[in-house]
Homo-oligomer: A and B are copies of this chain.
């Protein structure tokens, strides 16, 4: 099994997404927030690439909530920001949330042509590893995994890369990786003893801490707190799937 890691939604990748499982990572904070929202009972998340698209989807789904961020803060007129802290049972249970973030929703859109798309964060690492492993065993047509790090405005993002490295490390045996996958694995292994401190010292970690989101940085750095596997189905992100 070949695992290719790409550093941002806009990055070149080898081959095509056909017959691939795409795993999208945006540790700070989109995929962590999505896992939290679904774990807290949200019916679905509808990713929108822009504020305009989010508002258009809201007109089609007037009962849905609007969530997301630009420059890490709440968008004017939106119900929710991008902090997992806001996606409580009280607010999201049974509801759809239209969500647009600077990098994460772009990465999901880029990954959409893949056979299967799953959203990964540290929070739901083990569940995604096991689900993807099972899917590969059950679907002989799957011939590779592409891990799409959301990056930071098209630039390399260390939190996403560390999360990719942990996935590769746990996924284990019988795999080949590209250079960024090898680097991700090395980075994860060398920062495993002090993962939280490493994540805090990244560019994105520092921005969030400066903006008062230290609690989010700590929450999103916690491993295996949620058992949800968010999957993309018909343009919506839901918990599990039947296909």
Contact = CB atoms under 8 A, between A and B. Distances in A.
A179 interface: yes
Given A7-B7, A183-B158, A178 B203 contact: yes
A16 B11 CA distance: 21
Contacts of A190: 186-187, 189-190
Interface string A4-29: 00110001111000000000000000
B203 A156 contact: no
A202 B182 contact: yes
Contact of A202 (B13, B158, B179): B179
A69 interface: no
Interface string A102-146: 000000000000000000000000000000000000000000000
Determine which residue in A13, A179, A186, A203 has the highest number of CB atoms from chain B within 10 A of its CB, and name it: A179
B154 A179 contact: no
Contact of A152 (B154, B157, B179): B179
27 contacts: A6-B155, A7-B7, A7-B156, A12-B153, A12-B155, A13-B155, A14-B155, A152-B179, A155-B178, A156-B178, A156-B179, A156-B180, A157-B179, A158-B179, A158-B183, A161-B183, A178-B203, A179-B202, A182-B201, A182-B202, A183-B183, A183-B187, A186-B186, A186-B187, A186-B191, A187-B190, A189-B190
Contact of A179 (B155, B178, B183, B186): B155
Given A12-B154, A161-B183, 20 more contacts: A6-B155, A12-B153, A12-B155, A14-B155, A152-B179, A155-B179, A156-B178, A156-B183, A157-B179, A158-B182, A158-B183, A182-B201, A183-B187, A186-B186, A186-B187, A186-B190, A186-B191, A187-B190, A189-B190, A190-B190
